Amino acid sequence: MTQTLPPGSKIGIIGNGQLGQMMAIAATQLGYFCHVYAPNQSGPANVVAAKSFVGAYDDGEKLKEFAASVDVITYEFENIPAAPLVEIAKRVAVYPPPQALNVAQDRLTEKNYASDLKIRPAPFRPVSSPRELSYALLELGIPSILKQRTQGYDGRGQMVVKKATDSHLAEIWSELSCKEAILEGMVKFEHEFSVLAVRDIKGQFLTWDIPANTHNNGILDHSVVPANDFILQQADAAIKATQRIADSLNYVGVLAVEFFATQFGPIFNEMAPRVHNSGHWTIEGAETSQFENHIRAVCGLPLGSTALTAERVEMKNLIGAQVNTWEKILSRRNNYLHVYGKGTAKPGRKMGHVAKLIKRII
């Protein structure tokens, strides 16, 4: 489906969190109306949506009702069942394609997919019991990281295996509480970074400047653009790997791929078939944000420039009570505050972010 959707068309967004909110804001600026689908109406995206639908993510009938109200569908996170979207895609365009969900939401499928495209992931082994875990540790060594194959994000659903005693492995397996997992060998890396890319319906592929990312307890803490020289030396290889993924999936929309920068080149970590936290800086820091270009891509519009608007851009996530420093943030020049409106500032919860532009390019 290559039809260009004019302003006034309706965009369906599955998920009602802050990513959906920022997509809807970008879409509204371009003259589109957004309908949001989620299990509740209390998310940040509902505040800016033209219409809200309530239903489970696996409720095929309610999804069909939602799909009938819009001209194109996109989504804000990858942990939603792909099968109902495959059916919906027969009636209305769904971007990114549901196949991207099938790849990204299972860590084993994701790493095998990358490997098939000659993209190097960390060493890994599938495991489905403490006994298989012990065998995998013999191959990958200690420490290694045990992760749920599905439903993990922001450091959840994973833990470091530090010893191989039967009792310890049984305890960890019980705590992880899943039937299928993946064990990843530890990678000695210098930095973490992500490639933020957008691909349109015609196959045009653009990237933003590479952000260097720092995590705290598995949650992205801040991103800085431009990245350091060590990362930039690996940027070309990482961008080419990202484009191979996008082209192989006939991808449409924004795609984020996370990498480790190592002495042996970039190592694939994971992909996110959606707009991404490490790209929030693009709202003020790029000529066209990731959110606007995502909307442009799924609506068949020309993509906008991804060039920087400042010599340096920093993005800091506001986690939990950090959002309460909003007055201090606003008192500083060149700070751009985004508060998502989630209500209670719980520990580990992303409540907002702040971007800082240094030496703006006029």
Percent of the chain beyond pLDDT 70? 98
Write the burial class of residue 211 (CB in 10 Å: 0-12 exposed, 13-18 middle, 19+ buried).
buried
pLDDT band at 136 (very low <50, low <70, confident <90, very high): very high
Q: Is the peptide bond before 123 cis (omega within 30 degrees of 0)?
A: no
Say what the pLDDT of residue 153 is. Answer: 66
Q: What is the mean pLDDT of residues 77-82?
A: 90
Distance of CA 270 to the CA centre of its chain: 9
Q: Three-state SS for 361?
A: coil
pLDDT tens digit string along 145-164?
999 998 766 567 788 888 88
Dihedral Cα 183, 189, 192, 198, nearest 10 deg: -80
How many CB atoms are located within 10 Å of the residue 327 CB? 8
pLDDT band at 62 (very low <50, low <70, confident <90, very high): very high
pLDDT band at 43 (very low <50, low <70, confident <90, very high): very high
pLDDT tens digit string along 253-290?
999 999 999 999 999 999 999 999 999 999 999 999 99
pLDDT band at 219 (very low <50, low <70, confident <90, very high): very high
pLDDT band at 2 (very low <50, low <70, confident <90, very high): low
Q: Three-state SS for 255?
A: strand
Tokens coding 157: 């659903």
